[in-house]
Amino acid sequence: MSAKPLRRGTDPARESIPLAVVRRSAAMLLRLVFSIRVIGAEHVPATGPVLVAGNHTGFLDGPLVMILLPRPSAFLVKSELYDGPFRRVLTFARQIPVHRGSPDRTALTRALGVLAGGGVLGVFPEGTRGEGRLESVQHGIGYLALRAGCPVVPVVCLGTADALPKGRKLPRWRTRIDIVFGPAFDLDVDGNPRARSTVAAAAEQIRVRLLAHLDSLDGPGA
């Protein structure tokens, strides 16, 4: 017996009509506030599961990539944001809260469900905001990529830290921001996909590929 098709509201590869309207409206608003370029969106496969991995330098990284992606997506979001005013927005947007500091099996299960359903999952594997130089990444992204067996698309956000510096409540008007997607790649890792050493090797491969994509860009004018 074939499985029943998922409803639009629960299918990770599609989005509800209200969410689609809000996402498109938010994209227009962001383009009014900031000077935004989206480069390389054609690298995101049009169908099938995709893991989007990005560097993390500013609070705006996640919302901008999620809103401007050519496909609906779910991102792993630190659970602390669900304790504040963003809870309803994040829940409406079908994002996935993750508790940092220890393996969050609930979050990993939901994330794998997105990929198993042919959807797009976004991860900022550094785990926290920094300089975005990817000195280390969380191993969870390696686990997800291995289990899902899907392509990984690197994305670099340039200018977000300047657009909304840490501690500033209001963004800087018309700041230049580039969202740059790189070519999709598949992992080339041998070993048991559940073994820690294999997961670590997969995470390191993603880190190296994402860093190479970052280093290939000279700055907002690239």
Per residue in 97-123, pLDDT tens? 998 877 788 999 999 999 999 999 999
Within a domain: residue 151?
A: yes
pLDDT for the residue numbered 5: 42
Q: Could you tell me if residue 1 is inside a domain?
A: no
Q: How confident is the model at residue 81 (pLDDT cuts 50, 70, 90)?
A: confident
149 residue type, one letter: G
Q: Would you say residue 143 lies in a domain? A: yes
Residue 109 is assigned to a structural domain of this protein: yes
Helices and strands: H and E segment counts in the chain: 7, 7
* 96 Rama sector, left if φ>0, alpha if ψ -120 to 50, beta otherwise: beta
Q: Provide the number of structural domains found in the chain.
A: 1
Euclidean distance between CA atoms 51 and 49, whole angstroms? 7
For the question of whether the overall pTM of this predicted structure is more than 0.75, the answer is yes
Q: Is residue 4 a part of any domain in this protein?
A: no
Question: In this structure, is residue 6 part of a structural domain?
Answer: no
- Rounded (10°) CA dihedral 131, 79, 193, 4: -130
What pLDDT score was predicted for residue 145? 95
Give the domain extent around 195: 17-165+172-215
- 76 neighbors 96 (Cβ within 8 angstroms): yes
